[in-house]
Structure 1
Amino acid sequence: MGLVSQNALSRKRSSDNSQANLNQDNAGEVGDVSADLKSQRRKQKREASAKNKEHKVANEMQEMKKLEGFLFGTLHSSVGFGKEVAEDTGEDMNEDGAFLSKDRSSVADVILHEDNEDEVDREASMSDEEGEPHETRKPVWIDQEEQIAKINIARTNRLRKLRREEGEILVSGADYVARLRSQHVKLNPRTEWAELGWKSERDDSDDESDEENELVRAQGRGANGNNILLSSEDAVVRSTTKLLPGLLEFSRLIDGNAEDPSNGPITSVEFHRNAQLLLTAGLDKKLRFFQIDGKRNTKIQTIYLEDCPIRKASFLLDGSQAIISGRRKFFYSLDIVNAKVDRVGPLMGREEKSLESFEISPDSSTIAFIGNEGYILLVSSKSKQLIGTLKMNGTARSVAFANDGHQLLSSGGDGHIYHWDLRTRKCFHKGIDDGCINSSALSVSKDSTIFAAGSDSGIVNVYNRDEFLGGKRKPMKALTNLTTKVDGLQFNHDGQILATFSSMKRDSVKLVHVPSLSVFSNWPPLKHNLQYVQCLDFSPGGGLMVLGNAAGKVLLYKLHHYEHA
């Protein structure tokens, strides 16, 4: 090969090498540029995502504030929606400032119609005087279809009052909503006591008199200046509101024994003196105690008497003991505090086969059992021993105490009502129960001025006791609402209600308004199935009434006229 060709070949190789190096340098530069672009793009994406998150959080906070304003309104000033809505929608307000807003907030805070602008101006002036700034907020949501919808307010009678002119027929949806709100404001004006800073007229006088009263009470004296520690009068003035006849206000509560219903008929129910403890007894031989609150009525205790289906159970006045009896020669005494049951009887010198019916005197000193052949057995509540007997001409069927336990009323198969003086053990009056052949129930009011006598025919005679003892034989009223034998009579604590019932017919319970001697027309309730009522009782304060039926349930009712149970 020649020298010329060798030089040409070497120049070609060197040019190829330089070109390769140049390409490598260019590729490195391009790689660096693409890496920088990628890092810039990542940075921009991170910044954009951060901005989006901040914007989203800000929007959520703004929406939450709007929602709070929509739900709760403002606490200090009325809300004006006119300006912001006008700015958003491009609409202008009227010259007089009336604007029909699509606001969904509280009616009391929104200007809805020019009929209310006087009241709004007055409120605005008041807020200006107080120096409170007016806040404006946008409605949370606006229904665009309200402007499109058309409502015919002349088609129905209840919408014609929304017309402003006699010939007006169609209005827009927004105008329809505004007129409804305006009509609501007219019918339901704002109350003064709901205004912030409202103070009654008597607050000033109360503030002045409180200082004097505090000084008097600090010295242990009442409002009348008497020493309340040395007085036997009630420190709390009780309500003297009279119960009105006609309709009785009541409501049904959960059953008194809902936690543990009886397997047999309920034969006895009674409230403890504290009105929170309820005693129930039945033929299933179980005595149950429930704490009555009207919501759960929790069961406290159950006592089982193996050899005695219970016919009657009752508290002593002090509430420390309960007397339990059945169709047996003996009865039981329950010590509630110690949960101890003692069996008592048979009574010395008596051969009664059943002591199932009895009454306890108001002072808890004497228990009167109905015995055989017209005998009434008087037993001491302390010693549980027989202390005396009373003898009627006919059979004894019912007894009731009067005058704080010093006197006793009894009736039976001869149709007479006996009045006994328990201090002398003698009958001081005997009178015929008008129209009665066989008496079946007796009850005396707490003040002993009125008594009621029921018979086998279902008639209940209500007597004024003083008139009856004076020789007047006609009752104040003969109630003929029951058609079967009267099994029970019960006055409430203030003597304004008399309950009568018969266990021989379903729902056979009547409540009598004693002052007018008329029956409450809405009792028994039509939709409530009382079934065959066997017993009933009123709470000490009259606010509750319980009924035990043959199905083993204790129905509990609240009487709204009385505040306390």
Structure 2
Amino acid sequence: MPKHARKRQKLSQSLSKTHQVDDDSRLEALLDDASKDEEERRLESLLFGKTFRTKGKAKKGAAWKDEEDADGEDVEDKNDEDMEVGGGREMENLLDGDLFFIDSGDANIPGPTFSNSDQSENDDEDDEDDASSSSSSSSSSSHRKARPKPNLKHGKAPAWHDPSDPSTSVSLSSSKRLRKLRNAPDEDELGAREYESRLRRQFEKINPEPEWAKKARLARVKKAKSIRTQGDENDKEDENEDDDADTSFDMQTLLNSTSGIVSKRSTKLPILPAGTINIERLRDANISSQGSGGCGDIKSLAFHPSDRVPVLAVGSEDRRVRMYNIDGHTSPLLTTLHIPSLPITSQSSIQFHPGGTHILLTGPRPYFYVYDLQSGTLLGGAGDTNKTGRLEGNRGLEISSFSPDGSILAVAGRGGYVHLLDWASSSSGGGIGSGQVVASLKCSGTGGGVSGVWWVPTASTGGSTLAVLTGDSEIYIWDVAERRCVSKWRDEGGFKGAGRVLAGSPSLGSGAKPGSNIGLINIYDSSTFGASLDTLQSTPKPVKILEHLTTPISSMKFNHDSQLLAVASREKKDAFKLYHFPSFTSYSNFPTLSTPLGHVSSIAFSARSEYMAVGNKRGRVLLWSVRGYCV
């Protein structure tokens, strides 16, 4: 059926009306300046010669207002506040090609010269200068050159003034890269100060100020304003306090005094709390030598007795003694001693002399070595005698101990003997380690031998009292000056072969702690070791029995002031406990299940207990920092 001509005519008329409506709406959208951004209106002004109006500076369809107009002042003040917080938004719609450039300048244009006073001003002053200068230049006439109107605060006086600054000007039309600094299309010349603020503003647009920096800057400005509003009386009081503080650091006063410049360390001992301990894990003490194939089981650890020398001596299964400079970070290796003929087997195989000048090296041999720290030489110790039960034919010298003054060395021998070596005569006469055995102390019974020796720090005897633990769990107290036994008793709960380790406190007022082969540790009071056979009525009772470990005790060590006791057993993994004294309680936060202890074989504290070193069978020397002793 043929199509009707009338229907086609109506359809064409409706289509023409639709196109006409679309054209009218498109034209209205093109003429509506409210829906356009500043970039689009700026291009229209350049192409069609229309007057460019910035949003916020003038209303739609109105001309540019003068700077002194009342409405314009309100808008300008509002924009100044916005720029103080956000840095201004005049050029936020520029293209990336106009924002990112390298400002190399032009050779024909003289560069601006800036004074040091401009560079030394605070950031808050620069931001306020940027806001005031940008607002003043944007409100200027299109036929008039934009001149900066800085609103400077006189917080600091300039160090010097450059007379060429006011006369320096930069033309923005000389280079295309400088056009993005304009606030108006026909703006041309800028002063030195204004040019600097425009460059700073452009940089902040590309690299916005972080929120934390903005908050800190505003807080600093607020604090400065609050300080300025204080009264004169408060200012005078502050000045007097500052004068008093400056007087103590006056150079003339310092030069007129003979006292030390560096303050001395406080002699007051810190008191550690019970329950939890503030301790921090550090890098291993022997980390510098762990990558060289390993060193085997760590047998002995010893810190230098002086707190000024942070040196740790480490004796390992490979018959080497390595010394490290402990700093908590890298702990570099200082030197290595290799002694093939002397195995290192016990915790006391390495001992520093109390004077800190020598290291005693002992083992399961009837001789010892002495390393001179000052000369770096290794000396062999003799000491063979022809008397029965002395050093000749002895099983070894690995159990030994220096007296507190370092004049006598007590060495455990065979059959319950304890030999006393005159170390003072060897260092002053015939050489280190050449002293003679001046006496031998015989403990009754020969079944278990000697398991430990400890010099009792009693003030009445001048440090000449020696405590000896035998393998039969018997404790002997010897008066070294008179060569006689003043006290003797059997350790409570002990039996033959049960005595393993004897650890004594290095400070006055604390007792000894014998460790057994079943993990029990008996704690005796210090008065027990000062009692004689006449005054000792019955077997002393321990004041505390520690039962946390169930395997034989292999290592026990006190720190320098007897507030900490570290106990370990090498028979079981992670068998380590740290106790607080005098509460006799273990710390609940150390060690934890995640502490990588392993099989602990040796323990050592530094001279002031800042560090605690723990050696294990894997050849690692774990290091901790006891924060309570750190200054």
Q: 1:343 is paired with a residue of what secondary structure?
A: strand
CA distances 1:384-439 after superposition (whole Å, capped 9, x unpaired): 33222111113211111122641111111222211111111211111222222222
Whether the 8 Å CA contact 1:393–1:414 is kept in 2: the answer is: no
Amino acid at match of 2:295: N
Q: Tell me which residue corresponds to 2:441.
A: 390
Q: 1:52 to 1:459 in 2, by over 3 A?
A: same
Question: What's the counterpart of residue 573 of structure 2?
Answer: 506
Aligned to 1:286: 320
User: What is the CA–CA distance in structure 1 between the aligned matches of 2:212 and 2:465, rounded to whole Å?
Assistant: 71
Instruction: Find the residue that maps to 1:482 and give its secondary structure.
Output: coil
Query: Which deviates further from its counterpart, 406-415 or 202-211?
Result: 202-211
Residues 69, 218 of structure 1: alpha-carbon distance in 2 compared, 3 angstrom cutoff? farther
Question: Which amino acid letter does the alignment assign opposite residue 521 of structure 1?
Answer: S
> Given the alignment, which residue of 597, 607, 614 partners 1:540?
607
1:345 is aligned to 2:382: yes
Question: Which region of structure 1 is more displaced relative to structure 2, 327-336 or 237-246?
Answer: 237-246
| Distance change (3 Å), C-alpha of 1:220 and 1:433 | same
1:562 Cα deviation from its structure 2 partner: 0.6
- Name the SS for the 1:556 alignment partner: strand
Distance 2:452 2:609 in 1: 24
Indicate conservation of the 8 Å contact 2:300/2:314, yes or no: yes
Contact 2:477–2:529 (8 Å) recurs in 1: no
- Residues 343-384 of structure 1 show CA distances to partners (whole Å, capped at 9, x for unaligned) of 223521332022222112221112211111101121222233
For these two proteins, the number of residue pairs brought into alignment is 406
1:300 aligns with 334
Q: Distance in 2 between matches of 1:244 and 1:447?
A: 19
* Maintained 8 Å contact 2:422/2:437: yes
Distance 1:516 1:307, change over 3 A: same
Output the CA distance in 1 between the equivalents of 2:266 and 2:492.
40
1:444 maps to 504
Do the aligned partners of 1:315 and 1:321 also contact (CA within 8 Å) in 2? yes
In structure 2, what is the equivalent of residue 52 of structure 1?
176
The 5-angstrom pairing of residues 358-377 of structure 1 reads: 358-377=400-419
Residue aligning to 1:70: 209
Q: Please, what TM-score do these two structures have when normalized by structure 2?
A: 0.58
Matching residue's letter, 2:342: C
Q: Which moved more, 1:235-244 or 1:493-502?
A: 235-244
- For residues 298 and 530 of structure 2, what CA distance do their matches in structure 1 show? 36
Give the 3 Å change call, closer, same or farther, for CA 63–402 of structure 1 in structure 2: farther
> Structure 1: 5+ residue runs without aligned partners?
1-42, 72-102, 112-118, 132-195, 223-233
Structure 1 residue 245, shift from structure 2 partner: 0.4
1: CA distance between counterparts of 2:327 and 2:223? 49
Structure 2 SS opposite 1:373: helix
Query: How far 1:199 moved relative to its partner?
Result: 6.2
Amino acid aligned to 1:218: S
Distance 1:219 1:204 in 2: 23
What one-letter code is carried by the residue in structure 2 that aligns with 1:516?
S
CA change 1:407–1:130 in 2 (3 A) is same
* SS of alignment partner, residue 201 of structure 2: helix
Q: Distance in 2 between matches of 1:121 and 1:104?
A: 15
- The AA in structure 1 aligned to 2:506 is K
Which stretches in structure 2 are left out of the alignment for 5+ residues?
1-105, 110-170, 182-194, 387-391, 427-433
The equivalent position to 2:467 in structure 1, one of 388, 401, 409, is 409
8 Å Cα contact 1:269/1:535 also seen in 2: yes
Amino acid at match of 2:443: M
Q: Is the 8 A contact 1:497 1:512 kept in 2?
A: yes
The AA in structure 2 aligned to 1:127 is R
Aligned residue in 1 for 2:344: 310
Question: Aligned ranges for residues 465-544 of structure 1 at < 5 Å?
Answer: 465-467=526-528, 469-470=530-531, 471=536, 473-544=540-611
* CA distance 1:446–1:197, change in 2 (3 Å): farther
Aligned CA-pair RMSD: 3.7
Q: Percent of pairs identical after alignment? A: 28
Q: 1:60 to 1:528 in 2, by over 3 A?
A: farther
Equivalences for residues 238-277 of structure 1 within 5 A: 238-261=267-290, 262-272=294-304, 273=306, 274-277=308-311
Residue 3 of structure 1 aligns with which residue?
none
Letter of the structure 1 residue corresponding to residue 228 of structure 2:
S
> TM-score, structure 1 length as denominator?
0.64
Against the structure 1 CA distance between its residues 419 and 258, is the aligned structure 2 distance closer, same or farther, given a 3 Å change threshold? same
Q: Please report how far the alpha carbon of residue 283 of structure 1 lies from its aligned counterpart in structure 2 after TM superposition.
A: 1.6
1:46-97 CA distance string (max 9 Å, x none): 99984223346866532446789935xxxxxxxxxxxxxxxxxxxxxxxxxx
Query: 1:216–1:372: structure 2 CA closer, same or farther, 3 Å change rule?
Result: same
Instruction: Give the deviation of 1:449 after TM superposition.
Output: 2.1
> For 1:201 and 1:478, how far apart are their aligned partners in 2?
61
Per-residue deviation, 1:551:
0.9
Out of 310-319 and 442-451, give the one that drifted further. 442-451
Match in the other structure for 1:332: 369
Q: What letter is aligned with 1:481? A: H
Mapped partners of 1:289, 1:282: distance in 2: 11
- Residues 165-190 of structure 1, C-alpha deviations (whole Å, 9 max, x = no match): xxxxxxxxxxxxxxxxxxxxxxxxxx
Partner of 1:354: 396
Aligned to 1:554: 621
In the alignment, is the contact (CA less than 8 A) between 1:291 and 1:299 conserved in 2?
yes
Name the CA shift for 1:392/1:247 in 2 (closer, same or farther; >3 Å): same
**Distance in 1, Cα, partners of 2:582 & 2:482:** 34
How far, CA to CA, are the matches of 1:241 and 1:235 in structure 2? 16
Cα shift at 1:120: 10
Letter in 1 for 2:330: R
Deviation at 1:488, TM superposition (A): 1.9
Contact 1:347 1:386 in 2 (8 A): no
Distance in 2 (alpha carbons) for counterparts of 1:492 and 1:126: 51
Report whether the alignment pairs 1:323 with 2:352: no
Q: Is the 8 A contact 1:285 1:310 kept in 2?
A: yes
Structure 2 Cα separation of the partners of residues 521 and 563 of structure 1: 21
Among candidates 512, 515, 524, match of residue 454 of structure 1: 515
Partner of 2:29: none
Q: 1:104 to 1:322 in 2, by over 3 A?
A: closer
Q: Distance in 1 between matches of 2:300 and 2:508?
A: 23
In structure 2, the CA distance between the partners of 1:209 and 1:53, relative to structure 1 (3 Å rule), is: closer
Post-superposition Cα deviations, 1:459-486, rounded to whole Å, max 9, x if no partner, equal 1111111145444712121101111111
Measured in 2, the distance between the counterparts of 1:452 and 1:121 equals 63
- The DSSP-based 3-state class of the residue aligned with 2:414 is coil
Q: Counterpart amino acid of 2:398?
A: E
2:525 to 464, 484, 488: 464
The one-character-per-residue Cα deviations of 1:226-253 (angstroms, maximum 9, x if unpaired) are xxxxxxxx96432333110011111111
In structure 2, relative to structure 1, the CA distance for the partners of 1:205 and 1:503 (3 Å cut) is same
Q: CA–CA distance in 2 between the matches of 1:456 and 1:258?
A: 33
SS of 1:498's partner is: strand
